[in-house]
Amino acid sequence: QADEETFTFQAEVAQILDLMAHSLYSNKEIFLRELISNASDAIDRLRFERFSRPELADEGERFQIRVDHDKDAGTITISDNGIGMSRDEVIENIGTIAKSGTAEFLKALTGDQRSDAALIGQFGVGFYSAFVVAERVVLTTRRAGLDAGDGVRWTSDGKGEYTLESVERPERGTTIVLHLREGEDDLLNGYRLRTIIQRYSDHISLPIVMPSEDGGGAAKTDADAAGAEGGADDAGGAADAGGTAVAETTVNRASALWTRPKSELSETDYHDYYRHISNDFAPPLAYLHAKVEGRYEYTMLLFVPSSAPYDLWIQQSRHGVKLHVQRVFILEDTGQLMPRYLRFVRGVIDSADLPLNVSREMLQSSRAVDHIRSSAVKKVLRLLKDLAANDPGKYAAFWKEFGAVLKEGIADDYDHREDIAELLRFTSTHSSTQDADVSLHDYVDRMKEGQDKIYYLLAPTLAAASASPHLEAFRKKGIEVLLLGEAVDNWVVTGLVQEFGGKRLQSVAQGVPDFGGLEDDAEKEAAEKATAEYAALLGKLKAILAGQAYDVRVTSRLTTSPACIVANEAVTDFGLAQRMRGSGLP
Ligand code: ADP
Ligand code: MG
């Protein structure tokens, strides 16, 4: 071909390709899951783009993903009638440039084939898994809205280079032909392929079809699947087997899981679906499935993962909730449905009230969305509360992974501050470990007779906190102190949770030690006597430290250390001031 052009993969991509070919063999079936998931994303994207570009709606055929194989040629073909790609998009998405997740993926690898294979989808390198089984991959695609002459063919043997050429392609969408490596004949079998699809891709809500010749048997019929889908598609109905030579069978269930009644769904169904939407192979820690009817009608299926995704702390990290309108995927949440401090929640919200052509801008001013958001937040917080009450072990695991994120909610979500405060867990002088397992409730329940404050110590690290001389007097008196050593803890204690259950929070490193109702008269007297006795010394020290120290005092707060620096009560917590300087906060 005249315009054939050769490109070189970037080093990281080449490294991934090499890994696919040589190290992930024991989980080779995953290629099908990844390519089907891309096909499904491509159709979702087209459906969405059509709302704003009605000209794309012309081609009204039924959305579907096809999986085919050819024993003689040694190929498996996966095709979709989704959005397709332009030449530039091919280069950008699967070509030279490594995507943002690529480097993280390489870092996250463990060497264990099973867990490494599970990482592929999470880091957005799924397409390359084709090279686990294929020695050559040919992808032909044409973007919706472009001319038939704007088709592109991408070919690669996964060894560092790929070629691009222009081709004529009348139908939009993407076709991927895998030329299998020698010895992969076991995959050239309809029954085997169908089993893999049902295992990994049953929850794709679009029909995945295969030729019926070897698709018969246990497969569901096309009409069944179309009925289950409930007409979410434009064309709908069964494939016109009469018009084509080869009849097709839908091999997956092709229905949106969240639309099915809870009573029909098992724990395994939920776990499988979670794996499908999250690419996380560990089961979720907790989930909720609720159908709400009333002024607004919506369904939510939300999951709390058992471990944090790699991008949890990246500024632009993805939110995990997908908005659907009447089962049609509309967009990924960017904060309209779940606040940032719940960004770890994964799942689906399906509204019956929003228009199908809803845009991000419309979401911001929609009453229905406000309502859904507030109800989703309440439900998630309630789910966490139940988890804490009924399964403290699981809740501890949750707190370890996501506690620091949830804490942001204390500052960000005034309305739910109290609910969030109940979910907080702290390290405290009560226990000998540094585990954060003390709730404010626990603390209040253990408060001493006459104690009216919740004491805390803020320090740059937990180790610094627990070694602080500020604790000496509190230890001696047997008063529990919460130890805070995380950057977000500033926000938790200063002004945000100034009070819990009617008790004020009080820093032990600030001002004159304030033992509230626990003040010991004898101690107080001794300190006053000492102050008088050492007045001359205190005067000298004050003069020497003029301009550096606000005051020099005799204290009863220490038992073994000779002296300590204390923040002025009028200013701000010393630990906080230090941290703020370090973190560049105002
Ligand atoms: P991810 O799906 O997580 O983005 P992949 O490696 O699986 O990562 O795919 C990379 C990108 O290639 C996709 O984001 C998409 O832009 C593009 N792509 C892959 N397969 C298709 C397809 N069948 N149709 C359109 N675009 C596709
Ligand atoms: Mg993918």
Report ipTM for this prediction: 0.99
**Beta strands 320-325 and 346-351: pairing type?**
parallel
Q: What is the pLDDT of residue 96?
A: 65
List the structure tokens of 260. Answer: 């099915």
Residue 344, pLDDT score? 95
CB of 335 sitting under 6 A from ligand 1: no
Q: Say if strands 427-428 and 346-351 run parallel, antiparallel, or are unpaired.
A: unpaired
Nearest Cα to 509, choosing from 578, 436, 424, 446? 578
Nearest ligand, measured from the Cα of 44: 1
Q: Is 116 in the pocket of ligand 1 (CB under 6 A)?
A: no
Q: Is 96 in the pocket of ligand 1 (CB under 6 A)?
A: no
Minimal-distance CA residue to ligand 1 atom 12: 93
Residue corresponding to tokens 């929640």: 345
**38 Cβ below 6 A of ligand 1:** yes
Segment 472-522, tens digit of pLDDT: 888 888 899 999 988 788 778 865 667 888 888 888 887 666 666 566 677
Task: Give the C-alpha separation, 205 to 268, whole Å.
Answer: 17
pLDDT for residue 568: 61
CA distances, 410 to each of 212, 251, 340, 404 (Å): 56, 47, 12, 11
Residues whose CB is less than 8 angstroms from the CB of residue 231 and which lie 6 or more positions away in sequence, other chains included = none
| pLDDT for res 495 | 56
Q: Say if ligand 1 is within 6 A of residue 249 CB.
A: no
3-state SS of 118-181?
HHHHHCCCHHHHHHHCEEEEEEEEECCCCCHHHEEEEEECCCCEEEEEEECCCCCEEEEEEEEC
**Nearest Cα residue to 207 out of 242, 186, 178, 231:** 231
Q: Indicate whether residue 44 lines ligand 1 (CB < 6 A).
A: no
Q: Is the shortest distance between the CB of 387 and ligand 1 below 6 Å?
A: no
Cα 180 to chain center, whole Å? 34
pLDDT in tens, the chain (586 residues): 568 999 998 888 888 888 888 877 777 888 998 999 999 999 988 987 887 787 887 666 789 999 999 999 999 999 999 999 999 999 988 876 666 677 777 887 887 777 777 777 677 788 999 999 999 999 999 999 999 999 999 999 999 899 999 999 999 999 999 999 999 999 999 999 999 998 888 878 899 999 986 444 444 444 444 433 333 333 333 444 444 566 889 998 878 899 989 998 999 989 988 988 887 889 999 999 999 999 999 999 999 999 988 778 776 667 789 998 888 778 888 889 999 999 999 999 999 998 877 778 888 889 999 999 999 999 999 999 999 999 999 999 999 999 999 999 988 898 998 899 999 999 999 988 888 999 999 999 999 888 888 999 988 888 888 888 888 888 888 899 999 988 788 778 865 667 888 888 888 887 666 666 566 677 777 778 888 888 888 888 888 888 888 788 777 666 677 777 776 654 455 455 454 444 433 3
Distance 279 CA to ligand 2 centre (A): 10
Amino acid letter for position 225:
A
Q: Report the 10 Å Cβ neighbour count for 568.
A: 14
In the chain, the amino acid numbered 98 is: A
Phi, psi angles (nearest 5°) of residue 338:
-130, 130
- Ligand 1 neighbour 42 (Cβ under 6 A): yes
**Closest ligand to residue 129's CA:** 1
Q: Is 46 in the pocket of ligand 1 (CB under 6 A)?
A: no
Closest ligand 1 atom to Cα of 101: 3
**Pocket lining: 85 vs ligand 1, CB cutoff 6 Å:** yes
Q: Please, are residues 479 and 520 in contact by the beta-carbon 8 Å criterion?
A: no
* CB of residue 126 inside a 6 A radius of ligand 1: yes
How close is the Cα of 41 to the center of ligand 2, in Å?
A: 8
**Measured in angstroms, how far is the CA atom of residue 228 from the centroid of ligand 1?**
27
Per-residue pLDDT reduced to its tens digit, 144-188: 999 999 999 999 999 989 999 999 999 999 999 999 999 999 999
Q: In what order do the strands lie in the sheet with 161-167?
A: 5-8, 161-167, 151-156, 134-142, 173-180, 75-80, 65-70, 208-211, 248-250
559 lines ligand 1 (CB under 6 A): no
Residue identifier of the C-alpha nearest atom 17 of ligand 1: 93
How far is Cα 414 from Cα 409, in angstroms, rounded to an integer?
8
Ligand 1 pocket mutation pick from 36, 83, 127, 276 by most atoms within 8 angstroms of CB: 127
Q: How far is the CA of 411 from the centre of ligand 1 (A)?
A: 37
Joined together, the tokens standing for residue 447 give 């408060």
Q: Is 424 in the pocket of ligand 1 (CB under 6 A)?
A: no
Mutate which of 37, 41, 64 for ligand 1 pocket (most atoms within 8 A of beta carbon)? 41
Q: What angle do CA 524, 527, 533 make, to 5 degrees?
A: 145
**156 is written with which tokens?**
């690669």
- Spell out the residues 6+ positions from residue 315 whose beta carbon is closer than 8 angstroms to its own: none
- CA 125 to ligand 1: nearest atom: 6
Q: What is the pLDDT of residue 240?
A: 45
